[in-house]
Every structure is written in C-alpha cells, then in structure tokens.
Amino acid sequence: MDNHGRVVRLLKEVPPVAGKNIYLTLDLHLQQYIESVLKGQRAAVVVVDPRDGGVLAMVSSPSYDPNPFVKGIGYQAYKSLLENPDRPLINRVTQGLYPPASTVKPYMALSALSAGVITPNTTFFGAPTWTLPGTQRRYRDWLKTGHGMLNVTKAIEESADTFFYQVAFEMGH
C-alpha cells in the first residue's frame, strides 16, 4: 500500500487461521462504581479476581472522552487535554510508575515467617521512625505517632512501615 491506502502490489496471500476465544472479565457495575468513587481524584485502581486472575475493573482517573479522536479532535480541545494539570491522557494504570509500598508487606511477612526470621508471636516496636543500623538514615512511618508494639498480624492490619523495615533488616542478616 502507498501513503494514500492504495494497493501497489500483492506480495503474498496468507489464508486466515482462527484464533482462540477471548472472554471479557470486566464487571460493568464495579467499573462504573469505581469511576464514580474516584471522580475528581488522580488515582489508579485495578480489581483482580483472585480465583482466576481475571480483571474485574481497571480505572484511571481522571479520564477523558476518546470519541473526539475518532474523526479528528480539534486543536483547542487537544491542547486543553495536554495542558490539563491532572493529565487525563495518562493512563495511570498502565503508564503510572508507583513504588510498591504496602502491597509488598504481606509477601515480606510470608517470606520472613517461612524463613523462620519471625514467628506469628514475634513483636517489634512500631516507632514513628526507624534508623538503619550503622547509619544516620532514618525512615519514617506513615503514622507520625508510631504504632507501638506489634506482631506481624497487627503490623499488616495497621500497615506499619517501621515494623517491616525491621523485618527486612532482620531478613538480610
């Protein structure tokens, strides 16, 4: 084909082969509910069915109406999307770069328990900050007052950062 969409010559014809079936797993009501909850916020949400890995909802907020792009979006409308400080053209689910944060805590707990580094009854003091031994580097907890004494279950419930800093340190020794 040339740049005008005209066939110049046929190089080879390959007969089509039927592909496999694809099933949509999105839950429309869940998708719409999450969109309504996130309205006016910058956020990304993915809900996965733990039984089979199916994606039930995937929302990037804020979003935009893609329909004007079909027949050619006007300059002003496109410029408005580009200059919007909330960056609606960025799909925060697929393009956002985020630290794993608290999502790793259950895995870290499981690893530490499996390796015998901690037991379900091991307690650490969930202080407002934790200092890496041998350094001056202080790491802060999300809760400015700290959490007090915690076992692993309570640390996951409260998402206690400093508890898991200590667990990570113990795992490395």
CA distance 3 to 119: 67
CA-closest candidate to residue 126, choices 141, 112, 115: 141
DSSP codes, 62-119? S----GGGTS---HHHHHHHHH-TT-TTS-TTTT-----GGGGHHHHHHHHHHHTS--
CB 162 within 8 A of CB 142: no
DSSP codes, 48-70? E-TTT--EEEEEEES----GGGT
Catalytic (active site) residue 63: no
Q: Which one of 61, 80, 102, 111 is the catalytic residue? A: 102
Active site residues: 102
